[in-house]
Copies of this chain bind each other. A is one copy, B any other.
Amino acid sequence: MTNKSQRTHSAILMIACPDQTGLIAAVTHFIRENGGNIIHLEQYVDGESSHFFMRLEWDLQGFNLPMDQFEKCFQESIAAQFDMSYQLYASDERPRLAIFVSKYSHCLFDILSRYQAGEWQVDIPLIISNHPDLEVVAKNVGIDFYLFKINKENKREQEEKQLRLLKSHKIDSIVLARYMQILSDDFVRHYPQQIINIHHSFLPAFSGAKPYNAAYDRGVKIIGATSHYVTAELDAGPIIEQDVVRVSHTDTVEDFIRKGRDLEKVVLSRAIWHHMKRKILVFKNRTIVFV
């Protein structure tokens, strides 16, 4: 075992199943038998439903089961017996992200500054927008920019084009970086638990449009931002990360918006981090984030 800062070539296994005696022993024994050294093990049991969740990461050096045989072997030895669902990842796979934007630039700038600095092990082959405003930003960093103007009439057609484009670029996950357009249920269904949104309020307070105005009118003393997976219901998907900042009576709506921008970009980027590091499981509209 070793610490998480070392950049080893490792495998990550995310497991969910009904809780049963002997689960951890069985899985860790399987890894051990095949020469794997466990780097991280985090588990969680949902008390109400008796559902078990585990994230396991092990060093692939010395692991004598080839990755392309792992799933078959694990399925037969362990998963079938315990009725497990699971996903396997290699730690050095780079997730492929598409960024959706409209007119606000702060979240996009923040994402791109991390991308350019090499802070994130991801590929961002394209940026999609419903407005031309941020094309110049995409150009500056050499990322393809695609404009899809959307109205009631063309929405279905435009989304289909977007989906074809995403598929052709082998996009794994989509980041809505203040994208001011609601995705249709059909679209969302293509990327379950793979579309990350940032909402500019402390959800569930102030869902929907103009949350800073609503927060101002209510006279709150703290504002927030919420990053969540997109589901069919607006602003109601599983929350990944939230954070807050103090405001006072001296802050106008414009001050709320200004302070909120700093929250939004940091909260969204933290959510992307956990997602790309394969730290998140979803159960009953709640996230399990193994930090």
Contact = CB atoms under 8 A, between A and B. Distances in A.
Interface of A: 1-6, 19-25, 28-29, 31-32, 35, 37-48, 50, 52, 105-106, 109-110, 113-114, 116-117, 119, 140, 202-206, 218-222, 224, 238-244, 246, 248-250, 252-255, 258, 261-262, 266, 269, 285-289, 291
A239 B262 contact: no
Contacts of A269: 262
Most B CB contacts (10 A, CB to CB) among A105, A219, A258 go to A219
Contacts of A47: 2-6, 252
A42 B74 CA distance: 23
Nearest to A49: B3
Contact of A219 (B43, B105, B262, B287): B287
B249 A288 contact: yes
Looking at chain A's contact residues, the main secondary structure is mixed
A205 B31 CA distance: 43
Given A41-B24, A119-B258, A252 B3 contact: yes
A3 B216 CA distance: 14
Most B CB contacts (10 A, CB to CB) among A40, A42, A202 go to A202
Contacts of A262: 266, 269
